[in-house]
Every structure is written in structure tokens, then in C-alpha cells.
Structure 1
Amino acid sequence: MEPQLLHRITDSVATVVIHHPAKRNAMTAAMWRALPPLLDMLAADPAVRVLVLTGEGGTFCAGADISTLRGSSEEAQGLAVAAEEALAAFPKPTLAAIRGHCVGGGSQLAAACDLRFAEEGSLFGVTPAKLGIVYAAPSTRRLVSLVGPATTKYLLFSGELIDTERALRTGLVDEVLPEGELAKRVAEFTRILTSRSQLTQAAAKEFADGRTDRDAHWAEQARGSDDRAEGVAAFLERRQPRFTWTTTSG
């Protein structure tokens, strides 16, 4: 099978799979280009409430497939940054499910997700210093917001790989699962996410990501939504709530 991004939708969860096992799921130029329109399509699908990004087999993503990036380094970096920004802008919760190597462009994509769950034994690294590349400013700022300046400098200065223990301690990942337990935990957690209010999630995502110009918008959305009344009623009636607000509502 040609290197490509595969996707499926099951129980309101869209799973995007980085599929290039011959090169440890390294992203080709075509794959970088394909990600933003794929995300646009999934964002517009009302059946999708959560997105999971993962890699085929035992590797998340080993970075960029340099052999397919024939243009300038600026052009290649531009493709990666555009894909990263599209992922960060996805309006619904996103989760990276990580096994094995999550390096270079792989770490760039994982950092653009809202949450990162990793299997024990995974390895993480941001490696432009090994290639003499200036890491893009938006990617650097995103990494700083995630792990802080000290860990960002450690990763970018050295290009060294870190293990799941250090990744968890520094905030690069949110949960570490024993071998064989990642898929079960991701399925469990995404079920939780799909049962919650999309209104709460969408507003929280924008606020947490630093949007400062949307307070009035979300106050208006809250006033026009039935989610709060439904949540209170469900709590009092000891039943699961049936929230109706969707990202297309706002």
C-alpha cells in the first residue's frame, strides 16, 4: 500500500492513521498536503465528535520522509507547519495515541493534538538540530506552551530522545499505558468525551489555546443552547444527558 493517511469513523470517533510502515510512518510531502483537507472534511461531519491520530503498527511517526521533500527546506517546513496548524485548529477534541517512535514531524503532530496518550516504551524527540534546520516559530511556541521553555530547549538543543517517564513528567504526554493497554484506554476515554457537552469542549478548547476575542461569542452560544438545562435535568433525574449543541450550531 502506498504511503497515505487512512481514516475511519466509529461511534462518533474519527481515527486518522499515518500509514507508511516501510519508513516507520514517516510523513511524505503528499501526506503533509493531504492532512488539512482531510481534517476539514472530518470537522464538517456532524457524526464526528472526537478525533484520534495514530500510526500504523508499532510506530506513531518517525518524522518526515526526507526523500520525498525535493524542494527547499522552507517549502518542506511550510507543509509540516500547515498540517500542524490545521490539526491544532480542529474544532473538536483531538487525541494522539502513541506507540514507538514519535520523532521530528511526529512530535510536531502530537503536540498539535489536545491530548497525548502513550504506550510504555515510546520515544519522543524533536530533531532539527541534527539536520541544521531552524525549527519553525509556531511549532516552537506550541512546544513551549506544552512543556515549558527549559524542556523545549533541552529537546531542540540536543535532538535527543526521551522516554515515556520523562515525557509524562514534563507534560509532553498526559497518560502512559502498559504495553497492550493503549487501544483499550483510548476507546474508553473517547467514549467519555463523546458523552460530554460539545459546547463546553469547544469553548474550553478556544480559551485554553489562548483565544481572547471570543468571550462574547461563547456567552451567546451558552444562552442559546439547551445543554445547561439538559445537564441539570439529567443530573437530577440520575440519567445520562443528551446534549444537542454541535460545532455546526456555533
Structure 2
Amino acid sequence: MEPQLLHSVADGIATVVIHHPAKRNAMTAGMWRALPPLLDRLAADPAVRALVLTGEGGTFCAGADISTLRGSSDEAQGLAVRAEDALAAFPKPTLAAVRGYCVGGGSQLAAACDLRFAESGALFGVTPAKLGIVYPASATRRLVSLVGPATAKYLLFSGELIDAGRALRTGLVDEVLPGDELDKRVAEFTLVLAARSLLTQAAAKEFANGRTDRDAHWTEQARGSGDTAEGVAAFLERRPPRFTWSTPGSGPTT
């Protein structure tokens, strides 16, 4: 099978799989280009409540496939930045499920997700210093926001790999699971996300990402959504809520 991004939607969860096992799921130029339009389609799908990004088999993503990026380094980096930014801007919760190597461009993609769950044997590295590449400003800021300046400098200056335990301690990942429990935990947690108010999640995501100027917008969205009334009614009636707000600007679903 050619290197590609596979995707599926089930039970409100979109799963995107980085599929290039011959090169530890390294991202080709074509895969970088394909990610933003794929995310656009999934964002517009009212059936999608959350998204999981993972890699085929035992590796998340070993970075960029250098053999497909022999042209301008600026062009290659631009493809990665556009894909990373599209993932960070996805309006619904995103979770990276990480096994094995999460290195270079793979670490950019994982950091662009809202949450990261990893198996205990996963290894993380930010490796531009090994290639003489200037790491993008947007990716650097995102890394600093996760792990702080000191750990970001350690990773960027050295290019050394860190294990899942250290990634958890520094805030690079949110949970570490034994390898045979990762899929089960991701499935359980994403179903929790899908059951919660997407209105709350979308607003919180924007605010957490620095869009504090959108307070009035989200207040208006909440006023017309019906989610607050439903949440209160469900609480009082001791039943699961049925939230209907779907995507920014959409209002309630039917």
C-alpha cells in the first residue's frame, strides 16, 4: 500500500492513521499536503465529535520522509507547518495515541493535538538540530506551552530522545499506559469526550489557545445552542445529557 493517511469514523470518533510502515510512518510530502483537506472534511462532518491521530502498527511517526523532500527545505517545512497548524485549529477535541517512535515531524503532529496518550515504551524526540533545520516558530511556541522553556530547550538543543516516563513528567504527554491497554483507554476516553458538550469543548479550546477575544462570540453561541438547558435538565433528571450543538456557527443539530 502506498504511503497515505487512512481514516474512519465510528461512534462519533474520527480516527486518522499515518500509514507508511516501511519507513516507520514517516510523513511524505503527499501526506503532509493531504492532512489539511482531510481535517477540513472531518471538521465539517456533524457525526464527528472527536479525532484520534495514530500510526500504523508499532510506531506513531518517525518524522518526515527525507527522500520525498529533496527540494527546497523552506517548501518542505512549509508543508509540515501548514499540516500542524490545521491539526491545532481542528475545532473538536484531538488526541494523539502514541506507540514507538514519535520523532521530528511526528512530535510536531502530536504536540498539535489537544491531548497525548502514550504506551509505556514510546520514545519522543524533537530533532531539527541533527539536520541543521530551524524549527518553526509556531511549533516552538507550542512545544514551550506544553513542557516549558527549559525542557523545550533540552529537546531542541540536543535532539535526544526521551522515554514516556519523562514525557509524562514534563507535560509532553497526559497519560502513559501499558502497550496492551492503550487502545482500550483511548476508546473509553474518546467516548467520554464525544458525550460531553462540543460547545464547551470548542470554546475552551479557543480560549486555551489564546483566543480570549472571542468571549462574546461564544456567549452568543451558548445562548442559542440549548446545551446549557439540556445539561441542567439532564443533571436534575439524573440521566445522560443529549447535547445537540455541533460545529461553530451551526447551532443545534436535529
The size of the alignment, in residue pairs, is: 250
- CA deviation map 1:202-237 (0-9, x unaligned): 100000111022010001111112111111111111
Q: Determine the C-alpha separation between the residues in 2 that align with 1:179 and 1:33.
A: 31
Q: Determine the C-alpha separation between the residues in 1 that align with 2:191 and 2:45.
A: 18
| Pairwise CA RMSD | 0.7
* Percentage of pairs with the same residue: 86
State the partner residue of 2:18: 18
Q: Determine the C-alpha separation between the residues in 1 that align with 2:13 and 2:135.
A: 32
Q: Determine the C-alpha separation between the residues in 2 that align with 1:180 and 1:39.
A: 28
TM-score (norm 2): 0.97
- My pick for the range that moved more, 105-114 or 227-236, is 227-236
Q: What SS does the aligned partner of 2:212 have?
A: coil
State the partner residue of 2:87: 87
State the partner residue of 1:119: 119
- My pick for the range that moved more, 225-234 or 104-113, is 225-234
Q: What SS does the aligned partner of 1:180 have?
A: helix
Identify unmatched segments of 5+ residues in structure 2. none
The amino acid of 1:29's aligned partner reads: A
- CA deviation map 1:142-201 (0-9, x unaligned): 111111100100000000000001000000000000120000000000010010001100
Q: Determine the C-alpha separation between the residues in 2 that align with 1:179 and 1:190.
A: 18
Q: Determine the C-alpha separation between the residues in 2 that align with 1:225 and 1:81.
A: 34
- CA deviation map 1:97-137 (0-9, x unaligned): 00000000000000000000000010000000000111011
State the partner residue of 1:102: 102
Task: List structure 1 segments (4+ residues) > 3 angstroms apart after TM superposition.
Answer: none
Q: Determine the C-alpha separation between the residues in 1 that align with 2:212 and 2:239.
A: 35
Q: What SS does the aligned partner of 2:165 have?
A: helix
State the partner residue of 1:33: 33
State the partner residue of 1:217: 217
Q: Determine the C-alpha separation between the residues in 2 that align with 1:197 and 1:186.
A: 19
Identify unmatched segments of 5+ residues in structure 1. none
TM-score (norm 1): 0.99
